[in-house]
Amino acid sequence: MTDGYAIECDELRRVFRSRRLTGQVEEVVALDSLSLQVQPGEVYGVLGPNGAGKTTAIRIFSTLLIPTAGSAYVMGHDVVKAAGEVRRRIGLILGGERGLYERLTGRQNLQYFASLYLMSPRRGAERADAALEDVGLTHAADRRVEQYSRGMRQRLHVARGLLPDPDVIFMDEPTIGLDPEAAQDFRRLVPELRERGKTVLLTTHYMLEADVLCERIAVIDHGRLVALDTPEGLKRRFGQGQVTEATLRAATPGLADRLRALRGVTAIESDMEGAAQRVKVYADAGRDIASGLRNLAGTDAIQSVVTREPSLEEAYLSLIRESSAGE
């Protein structure tokens, strides 16, 4: 282990045990033999449905949770045996409403958290100001956090994670609750961090975010790694065939059934948007679905039609469906 990787784990397993009122012990396997390696300076995404084990993995890497079995290292340090060394090198950004002192201002919160990273009060104040600027919260720095919106709190979480200027940053759903503008600002920040040599491990439910930011993406489900590739690689491998999207000026009864009968069509989605009908046709690669659609609905009825490769979201959904079917 620790062959120069920034983050790595081998056969990592975490089981949560809880006792029911009847005395029975219930076990939930959150991570099941997870192995992964992240290169220094890489932005690495972890995708998976709720309960897949993403947060559990981040908690283990950030020394907040002890694994049941297996090993995990950050910058070459064992997260259990050398937890102190790990903590000096990481920043942690957790999503959600908790984790901040409501009655303190944003600046005071950051000054406090800086002190946890052994910074002198003066250095902490400087880092707090820089982090507030990084996340665009300077204008609200002296306002109590209880007056912050959800998006502002999330930005403060991000600032907190950047405070110690860490080598490795763990981001657990960092854009949750952010408005589109703030989310875009955040997405600009991640490449900047990579340019500064930081390693980022990011979990998210926003596929666009993973697609744009991550060099490689691990998809985990039921605590196991089910796929690992670049965003393009995942789309190529798991995004089945091609997708043809069309908007029809009005509803065309029976169109979905007739499209389903076309050769090479694997699935159809159809919904109404006002008076217009939107149709999404999944088909084997190379099929000319657009022509078939024009024949069936009539050229005049079609407002727009486009054929494209599947998105990361479509590849991800296909992968998760496959993984669940194999359970």
The residue ranges that bind other proteins (CB under 8 A) are 14, 16, 50-56, 59, 62-66, 84, 87-88, 90, 92, 94, 96, 98-104, 108-109, 111-113, 115-121, 124, 160, 172-173, 203
Which is closer to other proteins, CB of 80 or CB of 296?
80
Which is closer to other proteins, CB of 101 or CB of 249?
101
- Output the smallest distance, CB 65 to other proteins, in A: 5
β-strands 168-172, 90-94 pairing? parallel
Location of structure tokens 């979990």: 203
Alpha carbon distance 61, 194 (integer Å) = 19
Amino acid identity of 75? M
Which is closer to other proteins, CB of 128 or CB of 255?
128
Q: What is the largest CA-CA distance in the chain?
A: 73
- Output the smallest distance, CB 20 to other proteins, in A: 16
- Output the smallest distance, CB 219 to other proteins, in A: 14
Which is closer to other proteins, CB of 92 or CB of 319?
92
Amino acid identity of 218? A
Alpha carbon distance 37, 27 (integer Å) = 27
Location of structure tokens 């088909």: 283
Which is closer to other proteins, CB of 94 or CB of 289?
94
- Output the smallest distance, CB 272 to other proteins, in A: 34
**Token pair belonging to 142:** 């002296």
- Output the smallest distance, CB 158 to other proteins, in A: 14
3-state helix, strand, coil in the chain (%, to 5): 35, 30, 30
Eight-class DSSP state of 210: H
